[in-house]
Structure 1
């Protein structure tokens, strides 16, 4: 019985992943607005009714994609922390990974930007998996900023929450930029300027 349940669960996970992957393909090709549930399920080679066994709407898929992104960011940050890397390096890495994901999945950008005002810890994504609150990526930056201030790496005369807002706004500024600079490079340049402004320089640097 346990083996049978195991196969059933694996099949469910495979179907869910197939739907997510198909949605990414269709959103990338046709855009979020012009992609229908039928398009997604045709791409996944599954019946339309199966969609609603896993998701309530197309919008819920965006939450799940953001959840994927947060997991990727946090895994890299955990690895850097384990290697005792400085907070400035963690912040730069988090910004870089986020920029790459948003550049490759532009249809997620509006939800990502709105998340700044709609939730707290990225760990609270469990609700995002089920279509709840949009994940708050700003809090990922806040945690690093608190760590950096405690370690004396970042200036302490500015609240971490304010600095985190500035980092979060970089993505919107890059997305709306009229400069002939690719999105990821635009984010990287703005990120460097912010880091230069908040990092405490040691003597001789």
Structure 2
């Protein structure tokens, strides 16, 4: 039996989406610190009290954005393993897809890097993600599969290679070179891939 949304449910979904989209725009324009909940709700054209129907705090909203980002990356990975022929193609596509998401949402990059680098995945000292982000595991899985099938070098632990790929996002964000973020990632990606692919 197909479930149809009531007007109230549809309105709640629309309001939550509106809050998230307004926050994304303001975080990108003003930064996380200088964007208040009042700013977000004014842009969303909703009362401040409505915010708390969906989120406990600004940190809770950030956590939701971060989890959504990780889910998008995982979905892209699942779709790509059915399309691409080699693990190198899957890996390259995943890195470029992630770089594009982070470039569009630069405000979340520091949180994303902290979440990826820590097993506890703490965003702020008082805010933590209960479920691990499925990001490191994806890279490890691709690299280990490539090593098992003889596509990638196996003399280097997969976890070391995974760390190298994660460092691409961070180093590109702090780069002083006159390159766009995604272009910087692409150059570094080619170097790393050339170092692990067996000819």
TM-score scaled to structure 1, two decimals? 0.84
1:13-64 CA deviation, whole Å, 9 max, x = no partner? 2111111001011111211110000000111111101111111222222222
Assess if the C-alpha contact under 8 Å between 2:74 and 2:134 holds in 1.
no
Q: Is 1:80 aligned to 2:80, yes or no?
A: yes
Q: Is 1:28 aligned to 2:28, yes or no?
A: yes
Aligned length: 192
Structure-2 residue corresponding to 1:57 = 57
1:170-189 CA deviation, whole Å, 9 max, x = no partner? 11111111111111111111
For 2:173 and 2:150, the matched residues in 1 are separated by 32
1:142-183 CA deviation, whole Å, 9 max, x = no partner? 121122112221111111111111110111111111111111
RMSD, aligned CA: 2.4
Structure-1 residue corresponding to 2:144 = 146
Q: Which range moved further: 32-41 or 82-91?
A: 82-91
For 2:180 and 2:57, the matched residues in 1 are separated by 32
Decide which of 175, 179, 182 is 1:181's aligned counterpart: 179
- Match of 1:82, SS state, is coil
For 1:75 and 1:151, the matched residues in 2 are separated by 23
For 1:22 and 1:173, the matched residues in 2 are separated by 28
Where structure 2 has 5 or more consecutive residues not aligned to the other structure, the ranges are 122-126
Structure-1 residue corresponding to 2:8 = 8
Where structure 1 has 5 or more consecutive residues not aligned to the other structure, the ranges are 122-129
Assess if the C-alpha contact under 8 Å between 1:153 and 1:200 holds in 2.
yes
